Chain A
Amino acid sequence: MGRQVAIASAGFSEHSSKRSDVNIAELVSEAINDCLRNAPSVGFEDIDGYVTGNMPGFEGNSLPELWMTDWLGARNKSLMRVTTGGTTGGSVGIAGYYTVTAGLPNLDTV
C-alpha cells in the first residue's frame, strides 16, 4: 500500500513574456536550481529520480528529457516523462506523487 508523500520544495524560473536570453533547457534548469535553493538541506546528490513533463510539439523537440539530461541534473538517475497537453503541469505533480508513493527501491526523492 502506498506511503505518505510530502512536497519538500518548489521552484520557478524567472517569468516574462519572452525570455530570449535562455533556451528551454536553461529555463528548466533555472526552476530546478530555484527549487534546490528553497530546500537548503537538499542537493543534487539527494535526488533519486525525476518526473518531467512538457508538450514537445509546442517547443519543437521530441523526447526533450534526453538532450536536457544534464540541465536537469538527471545523469544516471531514474526519469519518467508524462504529457497530457495543457494539463501537463498537474499531471507531472500527480506522477511525482505516484513515483514516491509506489515505494520502488531507492526512489524516495524525486
Chain B
Amino acid sequence: MEKVGIVGYYQVKSYADANYGRYEMIFEAVRGALDNAGLNKKDITTAISCTNDYYDGRTISNCYTIEVGGGYMTDESKVEMDGAHAVLYGLMRILSGNHKLALVWGGSMASCFPYHAARLYETDPTWERPTAYVNDITAAGFQMRAYMERYGVNATDIAKIAVKNRKNASKNPLALQEAQKADITIDEVLNSGIYADPVTELMVAQPCDGVAALLLAPEKQALSITDNPVWITGVGYSQETYYLGDRNLAESKSMALAGKMAFDSAGIKDPKSQIDVAELFEAYAHEELILSEALGLAEKGKGINLRSEIDGDLPINPSGGAIGGNPPCGTGLIRIIEAAKQLKGEANGYQVKGAKTAIASGQIGMCAQNNIIYVLEGAN
C-alpha cells in the first residue's frame, strides 16, 4: 500500500473521574491535534469518530459530537469498535484519493457508565447473557489460566508485565494517575485482589476517562504540512470466532493473521529484529505476552523472556500501555499516538533510543477477539 502520513495528534490526559464535560474533552483533543499540525477546522475533509452507544448511554451518539469533533459539514462517519479501527477507516479514505486530511478521534468517559455491565451486552444474548457467567472479566481469567497451563508460566511471571507497565506509566505524564506506580512490587500485584482467578486487580487495564485525536494525510500533503511526519506503512486486522470454547485462548489467532497482513504490506520479514518499539493494547497483563507471541516477537510461551523494558532489546508499551490508561474506544488510538511519539523522539521521559520502526495495536472483544495492528516508520 501507499504510505500515509500522521501529521498531528493530541491525547487528553487519562483520568479516573475527569473534571470535564464529555464534549469539552473531545473538543480539546480535536483542537489539540489541529494545533499540533498547524491547521484549521476547515482543512479537515473527512472526520471519523469512535465511540460506543452503550458507553455513551444514548443511541447514534455521534449526532451530538459533530461540532466539537470537527465533523461539521465534512464527510463524517463513525466506526464503533476501537479507536485504532477508526484510524483504519480514515486511512482507507486517504488511500482512496478522495480526501486530503482525515481527522480521527476516539474515547469515552468510563466514570459515567458501568463499564463491565455495558460489556455484558457483547455476550451471546440467548445462551450467555441471562446467566452472565461469561463476561469480559471471567473470560480474561480463562485466558490467563489457559496461557499459564499451556506453557507452564506462573502468575509471578505475568505480574512482572503489570509491574513493568505501571513503572513505565509513572514516566508518562498523560497516564492515569492511579496506574502510575514507580515503586510497585510483584507481590503487590499478586495480592491486589482477585478479579477473576488468576487475574488480579493490578493486572487489569482499568477503564477511565480520555479522548485522543489524530490527523492523517496523503504523502504529498503530509510533506507540505510537516517536515517530520510519521508514516503508516502497513496495517492488518482480523477477527476470530466468538465462542471461547472454540478458541485456543493461549494464543491469538486474530493477531497472528493481522500481523501477517501488516508485515506483508510493510515489507517486514523478521519482526523481532526489524521492530524497534511496540505499543500493544493489552486489556490484561497476560495479553501483552499472548499478542507479542502471536506477532512473532517471541516464541510461543516464551514472551516473558523478552527484554521488553524501555532500555531492553524490544521495548513493549514504554508509555505504560493500556494498563497505564484505558479510555474505552480511545485506547488503541492512543497506542498509535504513543508509537508515533517514539518515532518523532517526543516521548519525554520514556523515549526508546533510536526508534525507527514501530508497531501499535488495538482490539475489541472478549480475550481480544478482534485485533488490528499498524506498522509505523519515522521520517528521519
Contact = CB atoms under 8 A, between A and B. Distances in A.
Contacts of A2: 95-98
Given A67-B124, A85-B60, A75 B77 contact: no
B261 A66 contact: no
Nearest to A83: B80
Nearest to A74: B239
B265 A65 contact: no
A99 interface: yes
A62 B121 contact: yes
B365 A80 contact: no
A82 interface: yes
B126 interface: yes
B126 A23 contact: yes
A2 B199 CA distance: 46
Nearest to B121: A62
Given A63-B364, A66-B370, A75 B240 contact: yes
A10 interface: no
Nearest to B366: A66
Interface string A69-110: 110001111111111111000010011011101111110000
Given A66-B369, A77-B239, A105-B261, A56 B54 contact: yes
B6 to A, nearest CB: 16
B122 A66 contact: yes
A16 B238 CA distance: 34
Interface in B72-94: 77-81, 85, 88-89, 91-93
Given A101-B96, A104-B92, A77 B238 contact: yes
A56 B53 contact: yes
Chain A interface extent, by class: 35 or more
B118 interface: yes
Contact of A80 (B88, B122, B257): B88
A61 B265 contact: no
Interface string B254-271: 100100010011000000
Contacts of B2: 103
A55 B60 contact: yes
A102 B92 contact: yes
Chain B interface extent, by class: 35 or more
Contacts of B239: 65-66, 69, 74-79
> In terms of DSSP, what is the predominant structure of the interface of chain B?
mixed
A62 B89 contact: no
B241 A57 contact: no
Contact of B240 (A76, A80, A98): A76
Given A57-B59, A102-B91, A104-B92, A80 B81 contact: yes
A1 B94 CA distance: 9
B265 A104 contact: yes
Nearest to A78: B237
A79 B258 CA distance: 11
A40 interface: no
A95 B93 CA distance: 9
Interface of A: 1-2, 23, 55-58, 60-63, 65-70, 74-86, 91, 94-95, 97-99, 101-106
Q: Which 10 A-B pairs have the closest CB atoms?
A: A57-B59, A85-B60, A62-B121, A102-B92, A2-B96, A102-B95, A1-B97, A98-B92, A62-B54, A83-B80
16 contacts: A2-B97, A58-B59, A62-B122, A63-B52, A63-B80, A63-B81, A63-B122, A66-B364, A69-B242, A75-B239, A78-B236, A80-B89, A82-B79, A86-B60, A91-B77, A98-B89
Given A85-B62, A98-B96, 16 more contacts: A55-B53, A58-B59, A60-B121, A62-B118, A62-B119, A66-B122, A66-B239, A67-B125, A76-B253, A78-B239, A85-B59, A98-B92, A99-B92, A102-B93, A106-B261, A106-B264
